[in-house]
Structure 1
Amino acid sequence: MTLAVSNTEDTVSTVYAQLRSMAASFAFKPGERINESALSRDLGASRTPLREALNRLVAEGFVDFHAGRGFFCRALTDERITHLYQARMAIECETARQAALRAESDALDDINASLDSTADEYATCSDPLRLLELDEAFHMNLARLADNPELTRLLTTIYDKIRFVRAADLRSLQAAGRTTTERHRIILDLVRNGDAEGAAKAMRQHIENRAQHASAAVRLAFADLYAPQDTP
């Protein structure tokens, strides 16, 4: 009996991880009803673990559920994106503040070395997902220096919810010949100097600047999502 329970939990966890990744990347279009039968077939999972995984995603805000209608991909609206950026700002300002109070020099050296080693790639990268990976690496590494795993967990969830929009935003930023590297270096220097309030303020300015472009990023994301697919 214990083994059966374990297998069921493993199946749900596997399906959940797959669905979470799909929801974060908008494999389902915003507002689209999720076809459980087709999804069950595609993932090779029965309806029971699929439903449990979907309910987890509802609790986390990745998927919406409407009684009598089923599960739907979350809507990608200006308001929703604004709320997520506000939550991101609150978390990252605090992680920057705590990092300035706790971070060791060696850990900060590692982040600085990472910025140096990826600067050229960051400036020329044409893959928006790789660009996003490089950008997120700085923020997540800095967050870990706050030594608060709950803040890191919350930030990971926020990033998953705005990943598609941030990829579009970073791509448009790069197209304008700009990157976020210099902002990252300013924040890192303030953390290294132990200036907790200065680091938090710089982080706030950095995120507010990107949030101002969120609506345009949403429109760009929609254009990508609904662009006609090329036929072979």
Structure 2
Amino acid sequence: MIPSTPPAGVSVPRLKRPAPLREGVYDALLNLIVTRALQPGQHLVESELAAHLGISRQPVREALQRLSSEGWVDLRPAQGAFVHVPTEDEADQLLAVRSLLETESARLAASSATPESVVLLRELYEQGVQALAGGDVDAIVAANAAFHAAIMELSGNKVLAELAGRVDRRVRWYYTPVAPQRGRESWKEHAELIDAIAAGDPERAADAMRDHTDRTRQISREVRREEEGSDKGKKEERTPA
């Protein structure tokens, strides 16, 4: 349940009515889920969401139904709406698809890279390193997404970019808990990837991206199992002997 006032550091903007309200509510709630301002498993109360957004309950209800159809929200009879809790299989399957798409994008990017595009990648890399130094997880996740999107754009394959775009938000959702653990190793891998693309070496770039995304997939599994073990331990502590 969302508290009567937003948690510290969480900004829930009021929506301007001239904008398409249904889409605006959907985008606002999805962003809160992706950034984990609304945590997996959290109860979503229509009246409270409507109050925070400064609107009526009807567009909130419609947005929750759409989010449910897309797998972001679970609607439970007689209980209400809850942020979906992704399973290990869901996360693993999505990250596996991501690895396939991005490995090919890196291969193509290395074949079409220009000096200007390499400069852009290095600028995005520096932004990521700065976000890492600042310890801002949201900024790190955003920088990571921007870096990978730039490589996808550089691939020149519009179909590939479209497919990657469809999974981008969910990848960010799964990546957020992993970002602190990946830390400097992730950006070191990004630097190696840039060097391969700058060298115009498609196979080296593909190998670097495959290793990079597979490592993220592996860490994601480890983090989820640690979380599940922690949750199990807490439940056992609360259970009377």
Please say whether Structure 1 and Structure 2 have the same fold, judged by a TM-score greater than 0.5.
yes
Decide which of 66, 85, 92 is 1:75's aligned counterpart. 85
Is 1:197 aligned to residue 207 of structure 2? no
Aligned position for 2:217: 211
Aligned position for 1:132: 141
Distance apart, 1:142 and its partner CA: 1.1
* Structure possessing the higher relative contact order (Cα contacts under 8 Å, 6 or more residues apart): 1
- Give the TM-score taking structure 2 as reference length: 0.73
Distance apart, 1:119 and its partner CA: 6.9
Decide which of 22, 25, 33 is 1:12's aligned counterpart. 22
Letter of the 1:201 counterpart: D
> Does structure 2 retain, via aligned residues, the 8 Å contact 1:8–1:49?
no
Is 1:43 aligned to residue 49 of structure 2? no
> Does structure 1 retain, via aligned residues, the 8 Å contact 2:124–2:143?
no
Distance apart, 1:208 and its partner CA: 0.7
* Pair 69,144 (structure 1): closer, same or farther in 2 beyond 3 Å: same
| In 2: Cα distance, 1:203 partner to 1:92 partner | 7
Letter of the 1:184 counterpart: H
Is 1:86 aligned to residue 91 of structure 2? no
- Give the TM-score taking structure 1 as reference length: 0.76
CA shift digits 1:153-187 (9 cap, x unpaired)? 5434434224354233221233xxx3322311222
Letter of the 1:43 counterpart: L
CA shift digits 1:61-92 (9 cap, x unpaired)? 32234466543311132222212211221221
Q: How many equivalent pairs are there?
A: 215
Distance apart, 1:122 and its partner CA: 5.0
Is 1:167 aligned to residue 173 of structure 2? no
Distance apart, 1:209 and its partner CA: 1.0
* Pair 42,109 (structure 1): closer, same or farther in 2 beyond 3 Å: closer
Distance apart, 1:205 and its partner CA: 0.9
Q: Any residues of structure 2 matched to 1:100-119 within 5 Å, and which?
A: 100-115=110-125, 117-118=126-127
Moved more, 91-100 or 64-73: 64-73
Q: Percent identity?
A: 28
> Does structure 1 retain, via aligned residues, the 8 Å contact 2:182–2:219?
no
| In 2: Cα distance, 1:8 partner to 1:118 partner | 34
Q: Which runs of 5+ in 2 are unaligned?
A: 1-16, 231-241
| In 1: Cα distance, 2:121 partner to 2:95 partner | 24
Aligned position for 1:95: 105
- RMSD after superposition: 3.1
> Does structure 1 retain, via aligned residues, the 8 Å contact 2:35–2:138?
no
Distance apart, 1:60 and its partner CA: 3.1
Q: Which runs of 5+ in 1 are unaligned?
A: 1-6, 224-232
